[in-house]
Amino acid sequence: MKGYNFTLSGASLTALGSGALWWPDESLLVVSDLHLGKSERIARRGGTTLPPYETRDTLTRLAADLALCNASTVICLGDSFDDIAASQALPEEERQWIFQLQAGRRWVWIEGNHDPGPIEFGGAHLAELPLPPLTFRHIAQTGGSGEISGHYHPKASLALRGRTITRPAFLIDTDRVIMPAYGTYTGGLRANAPVLSNLMRAEAIAVLTGPAPTAIPLQR
């Protein structure tokens, strides 16, 4: 499958241009920070009214990734919904779409800081998932090894043909991967922000998402 291939703790992984992570030996697809229902949550709290299409767009891209890889296991790495009320307010069509994507697969919802409680969808609901040699959790822990996490929505920039391109990015070193946000309406944190620089080792790289995932040294 086209993407950036690398190994972490002996596991062969592929960072896809969509922002998903593919573990072929386990037929496992990982996505992080979907933030489904964000436009509803912002409007409910009196914020700017945004076009309510982000859930549909995010699910369209997820469906495309699943059609491409036919994963038997899906891990949603936390903050899958913008909050619990947003999960409950999804239109019925979008709720049914999620159920269709789950059908015939093991589906794991990792708890995030936006969605810490139970949600009304099938699958397992876990604080974290050890699946040796890897561990899946929402927020990176210092000293972790073989860790896949999300939460920070990293993004990185690349100078190309006289212009600067900024995209969501995977951060990768020999200990961990920090996933980009998969959701359509998610913002991002610069990859060289101190909280990320302090987590990542000196040899870390950023892999920009897009049609041709591109690896660059992590800027400090």
Segment 104-159, tens digit of pLDDT: 999 999 998 877 666 678 899 999 999 999 999 999 998 889 999 999 999 998 88
Q: What is the pLDDT of residue 52?
A: 57
Q: What is the pLDDT of residue 48?
A: 57
Please, which residues have CB within 8 angstroms of residue 79's CB and are 6 or more apart in sequence? 32, 33, 34, 35, 112, 113, 114, 115, 138, 150, 151
pTM: 0.90
Q: What is the pLDDT of residue 188?
A: 84
| Domain locations in the chain as residue ranges | 4-217
Residues of the chain with pLDDT under 70: 37-53, 82-89, 116-119, 185, 220
Q: What is the pLDDT of residue 7?
A: 98
Q: What is the pLDDT of residue 86?
A: 60
The residues that bridge with 167 in the sheet, in sequence order, are: 156
Q: What is the pLDDT of residue 95?
A: 86
For the 4-217 domain, the top CATH level (class) is alpha beta
Q: What is the pLDDT of residue 82?
A: 63
Phi, psi at residue 127, to the nearest 5°?
Answer: -70, -40
Q: What is the pLDDT of residue 131?
A: 97
